[in-house]
Each structure stands twice: as structure tokens, then as C-alpha cells.
Amino acid sequence: MIYTIDTIYHLDPTGLRRMGIKAVFSDLDNTLLAWNIRESSQEMAILNKKLAKAGIKLIVISNNNPDRVSEAVSKFNVAFWANARKPLPFGILKALKHYNLSKEDVIMVGDQLITDIQAGNLAGVKTVLVKPLVETDKWNTRINRFFEKIIFFFLNINKKIEFKESLKWMKN
């Protein structure tokens, strides 16, 4: 089981705090920001402020290079871990250690099963799948989306994932 939500911007900081969450690890492209946009959105600033008010840190865990991630998030003082190598868990595990967080303190949010959710699962943290912000993808992400469809087929998940406005469990 994993959580699903239509957009990261609908996360409820109060609910996350009740779950014991101290940090939201988030993918960047198509989760916080459309993949083809270079600069941050005001939505990211608002989310970061709401999370901070609840005592929750927003940390971007991205496969992108440090320059791309920094350009997108530094304006809002959002911490990040670049070159994370998702679906491997190493970026998440290093960020946990660096920020002195336990696996129970964190939720990993992303738009891709094969990278974001798999990395979170391998790292042993709670995961949240979001609907991609835009329907287009970078060439390498299109390959991942193709394999996601195959995975859904073999897992016999023939119903479309429902993305609600608040966290819900997805059942296979």
C-alpha cells in the first residue's frame, strides 16, 4: 500500500504532523515543478511555509544535477539532495543521515513509481504517489512511464489510480 494524492500542494501539514512526520522528501520534476520549467513556483513557497509552520522540513530528493535543483529551490530556502540515483535508496538514506531523521519521520513524495516510490520503499520510508503536474515528460521519464504500465499490468492493477485531494491508501 502507498498513499496517493492529486498534488503535493494538497498535503495537510497538520495531518502529517499527527502521523509523526518531521520532513517531506519530494521529487522535483513533475512533483513540485513542471519538468520543463526552470524557476520555482509560488505554490512551492506557500507549501514550504505551511510545512515549516507545522515544524516539518521540505527537502527535495532529485536525480537532477545540483545546478538544476538549486536554481529551482534556493529562492525559497528549500533544502535538497541532488544526484540521488533513484530508484536506488542511497540519496534518501544519505539525506536521512545528513538531516538526522529516522525512517519513521519522513514521507517521500513523487510522481513516478519506478524512481520515487521505489526509492522510498527501498529506503523504508512512507511513500506518496502524486499525479504528474504536466502530461508531458522528458525523454528518459517517458521510458519509465512505459515500464510503469507494464508493472501495473503484471500486478493486475487494471483500475486507474484515484488521486484525491487528501492522502488516501491505494490498494492493489
- What is the per-residue pLDDT across 2-26, written as a single tens digit (0 to 9) for each? 788 889 999 999 999 999 999 999 9
More confident call, 125 vs 74 = 125
> Which residue did the predictor score with more confidence, 104 or 148?
104
Examine the pLDDT at 170 and tell me if it is beyond 50: no
Higher per-residue pLDDT: 97 or 72 = 97
Q: CA 23 to CA 101: how far, in whole Å?
A: 8
**Measured distance CA(34)–CA(42) in Å, rounded:** 13
Which percentage of the chain shows pLDDT scores above 70?
73
Instruction: Give residue-wise pLDDT tens across range 121-152.
Output: 999 999 998 888 756 556 565 566 555 665 55
Q: Which amino acid is present at 145?
A: R
**H-helix or E-strand containing 146?**
helix 139-154
Indicate the pTM of the whole model.
0.79
Alpha carbon separation from 108 to 31, 71, 127 (Å, rounded): 11, 21, 5
Mean pLDDT value of segment 36-52? 81
Contacts 24+ apart (CB under 8 A), 72-76: 72/28, 72/32, 72/33, 72/38, 72/39, 72/40, 73/28, 73/32, 73/40, 73/44, 75/39, 75/40, 75/45, 76/40, 76/44, 76/45, 76/48
Work out the number of other CB atoms within 10 angstroms of the CB of residue 62. 26
Residue 63 DSSP label: S
In the predicted model, what is the mean pLDDT of the chain? 82
Beta bridge partners, 59, equal 25, 79
CB 167, CB 127: distance < 8 Å: no
